[in-house]
């Protein structure tokens, strides 16, 4: 009888260890997802605000429609400063930003020899949109005068901590947000 009780205790201990290991994986996974979603939420708000600034810059500044490298650098500093103020442990080297501008000529065709899009890749972290703006030209509305309005797309990427990925031997660290707007 005592031998059977010892075997049951050993079985219970093994089952408890397996359940605790599975539970710890679930806890780490949940913490990782929550932290990434918090970063994505911040990136969503910031990408929307940034694309609104880009859209309105022709009204706020000199009226020039084409973006410049100086403007993209200023925007990147603004985004970096905003994230630094709202995110604990923010590192600028983990931030990447892609600004895309799709302009059209009077025949409603994209202006550019190659893609029709002015692309500015800013920041140390490589960032690529899920879908390039050149593939979304149909989103640009046509005005009453027969002109297509300029499209703007901002993609922000941040390299987050990789807690669960380290346990699984994978890299799940990218948090990305993309916003699109129509110019004036």
pLDDT in tens, 59-110: 665 556 677 788 888 888 888 999 888 888 888 888 888 888 887 776 767 7
Q: Is this structure's pTM higher than 0.85?
A: no
- Nearest-angstrom CA–CA distance, 113 and 118: 11
Query: What does the pLDDT read at residue 13?
Result: 83
Instruction: Give the contacts of 101 (CB within 8 A, at least 6 positions apart).
Output: 54, 66, 67, 117, 118, 133, 150, 151, 152
**Residue 117, phi then psi, degrees to nearest 5:** -130, 135
Q: Which residues of the chain have pLDDT under 70?
A: 1-9, 58-65, 106, 108, 112-117, 130, 134-138, 141, 164-172, 184
Sheet of 117-123, strand order:
117-123, 95-102, 151-159, 174-182
Query: What does the pLDDT read at residue 149?
Result: 78
């Amino acid at each position: 009888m005592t031998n059977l009780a010892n075997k049951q205790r050993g079985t219970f201990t093994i089952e408890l260890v397996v359940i605790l290991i599975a539970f710890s994986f679930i806890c780490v996974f949940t913490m990782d997802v929550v932290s990434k979603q918090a970063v994505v939420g911040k990136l969503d708000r910031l990408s929307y605000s940034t694309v609104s600034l880009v859209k309105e810059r022709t009204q706020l500044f000199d009226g020039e429609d084409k973006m410049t490298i100086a403007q993209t650098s200023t925007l990147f500093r603004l985004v970096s400063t905003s994230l630094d103020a709202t995110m604990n442990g923010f590192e600028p080297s983990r931030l990447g930003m892609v600004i895309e501008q799709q302009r059209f000529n009077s025949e409603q065709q994209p202006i550019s020899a190659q893609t029709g899009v002015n692309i500015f890749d800013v920041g140390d972290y490589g960032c690529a949109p899920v879908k390039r703006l050149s593939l979304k030209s149909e989103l640009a509305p046509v005005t009453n005068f027969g002109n297509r309005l300029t499209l703007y797309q901002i993609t922000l990427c941040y390299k987050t901590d990789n807690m669960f990925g380290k346990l699984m031997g994978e890299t799940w660290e990218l948090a990305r947000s993309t916003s699109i707007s129509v110019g004036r």
